[in-house]
Amino acid sequence: MSKASRPRTAVERRERLQQFLDALDQRYPNVTCALHHNDAWQLLVATILSAQCTDERVNKVTPELFRKYPTIQDFAAVSQDELARDIHSTGFFNNKAKSIIGAAQKILNEFGGEIPREIDQLLTVPGAARKTANVVLGTAFGIASGVVVDTHVSRISQRLDLTKETTPEKIERDLVRILPRERWIQFAHQIIHFGRELCVARKPKCAECPVEALCYAKDKSPL
Query: What is 159-192 written as a DSSP string?
Result: HTTS----SHHHHHHHHHHHS-GGGHHHHHHHHH
Is the predicted pLDDT of residue 105 greater than 90, yes or no? Answer: yes
Q: What CATH fold (topology level) applies to the domain 10-30+148-214?
A: Endonuclease Iii, domain 2 (1.10.1670)
The vertex-95 CA angle with 112 and 39, nearest 5°, equals 40
Mean local confidence (pLDDT), 72-78: 98
Could you confirm whether domain 40-141 is CATH 1.10.340.30?
Answer: yes
Mean pLDDT for 62-80 is 98
User: What is the distance between the alpha carbons of residues 157 and 75, in angstroms, rounded to a whole number?
Assistant: 36
Q: Say whether pLDDT at 181 is over 90.
A: yes
The answer to whether the Cα torsion of 193, 195, 199, 203 is positive or negative is negative
Question: What pLDDT sits at residue 120?
Answer: 97
pLDDT tens digit sequence for 107-140: 999 999 999 999 999 999 999 999 999 999 999 9
The pLDDT assigned to 45 comes to 98
Instruction: Give catalytic residue positions.
Output: 131, 150
Task: Check residue 198 and give its pLDDT.
Answer: 95
Point out the least confidently predicted range of 39-48, 120-129, 202-211: 202-211
Q: How far is CA 30 from CA 76, 82, 168, in A?
A: 35, 38, 25
* Mean predicted confidence (pLDDT) in 133-150: 97
Cβ–Cβ contacts within 10 Å for residue 139, how many? 20
Q: What is the pLDDT of residue 39?
A: 97
Model confidence at 2: pLDDT above 70? no
Contact (Cβ atoms closer than 8 angstroms) between residue 15 and residue 7: yes
Confidence (pLDDT) at 84: 98
Measuring CA to CA, which residue among 42, 85, 81, 33 is closest to residue 62? 42
Specify the pLDDT at position 218. 85
Going from N- to C-terminal start, the domains of the chain cover: 10-30+148-214, 40-141
Q: What pLDDT, on a 0 to 100 scale, did the predictor assign at position 4?
A: 65
Q: Which pLDDT score is estimated for 1?
A: 37
Q: DSSP string covering 152-163, please?
A: HHHHHHHHTTS-
Alpha-helix residue ranges (DSSP H) falling in the chain = 10-27, 40-49, 55-68, 72-77, 80-86, 93-110, 119-122, 130-135, 141, 151-159, 168-178, 184-197
Please determine, for residue 195, whether its predicted confidence score (pLDDT) is greater than 90. yes
pLDDT > 90 fraction of the chain, expressed in percent and rounded = 91
Report the pLDDT averaged over residues 212-223. Answer: 86
The answer to which of 5-19, 49-63, 133-147, 167-181 has the lowest mean pLDDT is 5-19
Give 77 or 216, the one with higher predicted confidence. Answer: 77
**pTM given for the model:** 0.92
